[in-house]
Amino acid sequence: MSLHRSTPRLSRRRFIQAAGALTASTVLPSVLFARTGGPERLVVVILRGALDGLAAVPPHGDPDYARLHRELAIAPPGSADGALALDATFGLHPELQFLHERHTAGELIVFQAAASPYRDRSHFDGQNVLENGLMHPLGSADGWLNRAIAARSGHATQSSTAMAERAVAIAQNVPLILRGDVPVLSKSPIAAPDVDEELLARLQDLYSKDDWLSARLSEAIQSEHLGAAESEAQAIPTLAGPRAPVDRITAAARMAAAIMRSDGGPEVAVLEATGWDTHANQGGATGVLAQRLRGLDAALRALGTDLGPLWGQTAVLVMTEFGRTAAMNGTRGTDHGTGGCAFLVGGAVRGGRVIADWPGLGAASLLDSRDLKPTLDLRSVFKGVLDEHLHIDAKTLAARVFPDSTQARTLDGLIRA
Amino acid sequence: MLLQPEIAVLRFGLGARPGELATAASDPRAWLLAQTRGPAERAGTTELAPSNEIFEALLTAREERREQRLEAATPQEANAAGAIVREAYQPHYRAQVLARAASAALTTQPFGERLVHFWANHFAVSADKGTIHGLAGTLENEAIRPHVNGRFVELLTAVEQHPCMIAFLDNQNSVGANSVAARRAAARFAAPTDRAPRRFGINENLAREILELHTLGVGGGYRQEDVTSFAEILTGWSIGGGRGRLAGGAAGKFNFHAELHEPGAKMLLGKRYAEQGQAEGEAVLTDLAAHPSTARFLATKLVRHFIADDPPPKAVERVARAYLKSGGHLPQVYAALIDSPEAWEPQARKFKTPEDFVFSTLRALESTPSGAQEVIHAFDLMSQRQYTPGSPAGWADTAASWDGSDALMHRVLWASQTAGRFRDTARPTEIADAALGGRLRPETATAMRRASTGGQAVALLLMSPEFQRR
């Protein structure tokens, strides 16, 4: 190379200040995390692949449950490997110890026989509806949580850059639920050594005429320090095998907690976990699904522990695209169904109860003679959480966040006053 | 027309190797069309074991593990037995990943190679599922490469009868409720016993995903009863060499187990299919391949992959028409795509996936990966671990799924690690010219000249807006 120039290595913070001087086209906010929202925190956990709600929240009191779910059924509380008791009808899978402790502490609401308005059985369309908040899988490139954040900050006068810290996706790329007008951070728990800061500065310059890349690079640089010290310890070494989703969700949960806890950190985080599509050899109290549930439970416990004092103002929503068939299939698994379960847990939750208008598993009650019939629209839960926890008024929810949701009435009383 | 060689090589191909832009320059369309004949051969020298051998080795390993666990004196010993199976499949996964990257880096038929990748993603399997550990790459190499330039129905049938797909979508044990096997089991338990009979039944996973993801598409006009009926039609499509009721057939190869098949005529999409055993499912695949919904679904995906995230309707229409007119003859479908004016618009509208980025980098730098670990590291860093899309829908083919800020930072990191090897010796501007031709912007060339090291100059090239898109 003809030109060699030595640049002293800058610390990341100094770099952020210095970058503006290096190139006039680079604009970075001088104050990060000028958060104006309240103290509430919301974490959404999306379980992709359709969790079997009848395994996670076994309806042991239903006379048809054991007959249909056969060897996959969880035994009633009190028996060996039995469910953890919730009430006379429902229990929790024995691996969901942390959730059960929260139930006892009055911090868990279990929803059963719930579903989004989607009624076909495609994972991918089902996830779209779960995340876009509409009646149909297509037709929206943004997600309901992004629209909610936009609505929440609508009255405040904030630049788009200052809004970037309102939400974080614990992933390299932003899932549909968080896509939209409000810029969102993404941060993955994959260990990455520092990038050469001079290269970053030169790239900012190179992107000066490319708003699309420029915006993303600025966000990436801003979020580099997020929760760094806390999350370094649990970052996944990049050479971990593909078989570690159980540990991955815990790493993601701990990273979410570290970022939310950082000074002025974001109020909303979204996590994802895959591996719930149990068509074959699903197992019961032990086995494949039990291991996944244990991983989820451990992740939620880690989130609670790491959030520390913030747990008291946190609500965690755990959901999946749909439930699975009421009957075991021919390969000791379950096929795509409709009604399923969801959880709302956290110090801010008015819990200790199951919300279920239980339709029963009798032949006449099943949807299409195969699935648990949904009696609760998940959007009712979403609206309740956004109303009471993030204080978004009913009119905005109906008009902007969940259009076409008049039949999904807001569920009241989910959050502690 | 502007930039035709660049569009042929960068958008339709896998990114330019030095000299490739010049090769394509005389007739870019002819250069592309010449790659749509015959099987798509894998480039490179990596030896890969065939799927049936891997299947057999895995069966043996699982058997050994079972025995060791039974003999284990302590829980630690029992756990250690797991390594037997891991050691049986991991070398195959690593070899397949390395072979894939080497072929992408070296091939002189990069459009054909991209089509292989396209169809492998259309018929996605995910190596993180236990039953197909070590097998994911075999579907691409054994079922897709031979048929990528044939008729769609041949490709479809080869894929659905490949043991990797059957195992991935759980069809090997799917049993008709009235099949010989089910009736025999029921008779055995006719006398009252204290043990409930094992329930025999269908698994609808393969049937649903063929309709939803491989042929008609989700809005393609089928209902739950069609899924159930198709699953019954597919009962018996299984893998040879199993035990018990799966005994028989060549080990690790497709095998029609007649005893598992649901007997009788079935209705699907309003048409009656008479009982024909294995041929019944093949007849359905033939009809699905000829369906207008399939033509539209495949055309939409091809146009999205090669032209824009929002597929231009006229191009979709043109490609779908070519599909129906040719009876699903894929080279004619590709020709319609190449003849679409929308495909030759100079603006690069596709943001590269990590796969695109890594493969085009290897080509630009004339670099072949030295070992599997190098490839695995790159894709772990950028969240696209090879052969593990995690679901049968495959990897997303739109920018919104790859453009997170954290993802961009990981691209920068990999680019600087990779480019670091070019610190002193390489000539960055020559690399840039050969890789981008007329696409190279003056701003990028200037930034590269001003870079403080050769490695930094190459990193700037790799991360430039024009290299990040195709």
Beta bridge partners of A190: A236
| A137 near B CB under 8 A | yes
CB B112 within 8 A of CB B148: yes
Q: Identify the residue with better confidence: B355 or A33.
A: B355
- Assessment of whether the complete model's pTM goes beyond 0.90: no
Up-side HSE of residue B368: CA atoms within 13 Å toward CB?
13
| B398 near A CB under 8 A | no
Tokens matching residue A196: 């050469």
What does the pLDDT read at residue A287?
A: 92
A208-218 pLDDT, tens per residue? 999 999 999 98
- Checking if the pLDDT of B214 tops 60, the result is yes
| Residue whose entry in the numeric block shows the structure tokens 């806890």 | A261
Beta bridge partners of B271: B268
CB B149 within 8 A of CB B330: yes
Q: Which run of H or E residues covers position A270?
A: strand A268-274
Is residue A415 in a domain?
Answer: no
Residues in chain A closer than 8 A to B451 (CB atoms):
1, 3, 202
| B373 near A CB under 8 A | yes
Is residue A34 in a domain?
Answer: no
What does the pLDDT read at residue A184?
A: 87
* Nearest alpha-carbon partner for A297 in A281, A321, A318: A318
The percentage of residues in chain B with a pLDDT greater than 70, rounded to a whole number, is: 97
What does the pLDDT read at residue A32?
A: 36
A304-358 pLDDT, tens per residue? 999 999 999 999 999 999 999 999 998 899 999 999 999 999 999 999 999 999 9
- Check CB contact under 8 Å for A5 and B204: no
B301-328 pLDDT, tens per residue? 999 999 999 999 999 999 999 999 999 9
Based on the structure, what is the number of domains in chain A? 1
- Check CB contact under 8 Å for A124 and B391: yes
Is residue A159 in a domain?
Answer: yes
Is residue A22 in a domain?
Answer: no
Strand bridging mode A268-274 / A167-169: parallel
CB A214 within 8 A of CB A204: yes
What does the pLDDT read at residue A402?
A: 96
Angle at B397 between CA A206 and CA B103, to 5 degrees: 85
Residue type, B368: T
| B384 near A CB under 8 A | no
- Check CB contact under 8 Å for B402 and A243: no
B169-202 pLDDT, tens per residue? 999 999 999 999 999 888 877 655 545 555 679 9
Q: CA of A70: which chain B residue's CA is closest?
A: B199
Among A345-359, B210-224, B409-423, the minimum mean pLDDT is found in B409-423
Closest in A122, A172, A333 to B407, CB measured: A172
Is residue A17 in a domain?
Answer: no
- Check CB contact under 8 Å for A190 and B383: yes
- Checking if the pLDDT of A37 tops 50, the result is no
* Nearest alpha-carbon partner for B36 in B338, B317, B287: B338
Give the domain range for residue A252.
39-197+224-401
Tokens matching residue B238: 């299984």
Is residue A408 in a domain?
Answer: no
Dist. CA B54–CA B134, nearest whole Å: 7
Dist. CA B30–CA B32, nearest whole Å: 5
CB B198 within 8 A of CB B182: no
What does the pLDDT read at residue A275?
A: 85
What does the pLDDT read at residue B426?
A: 62
| Residue whose entry in the numeric block shows the structure tokens 């899988």 | A137
Overall average pLDDT of the B40-48 stretch:
93
Closest in B128, B196, B468 to A213, CB measured: B468
Is residue A409 in a domain?
Answer: no
Beta strands in B38-104 (DSSP E): none
What does the pLDDT read at residue B148?
A: 98
| B428 near A CB under 8 A | yes
| A193 near B CB under 8 A | yes
Chain A, chain B: beta-carbon pairs less than 8 Å apart: 190
Dist. CA B269–CA B289, nearest whole Å: 13
A93-127 pLDDT, tens per residue? 999 999 999 999 999 999 999 999 999 999 889 99
Dist. CA A174–CA B261, nearest whole Å: 44
Is residue A8 in a domain?
Answer: no
Q: What is the DSSP string of B354-392?
A: HHHHHHHHHHHTT---SSHHHHHHHHHHTT--TT--SST
CATH code, A109: 3.40.720
* Nearest alpha-carbon partner for B101 in B448, B379, B444, B315: B379
Closest in A121, A172, A330 to B406, CB measured: A172
CB A352 within 8 A of CB A102: no
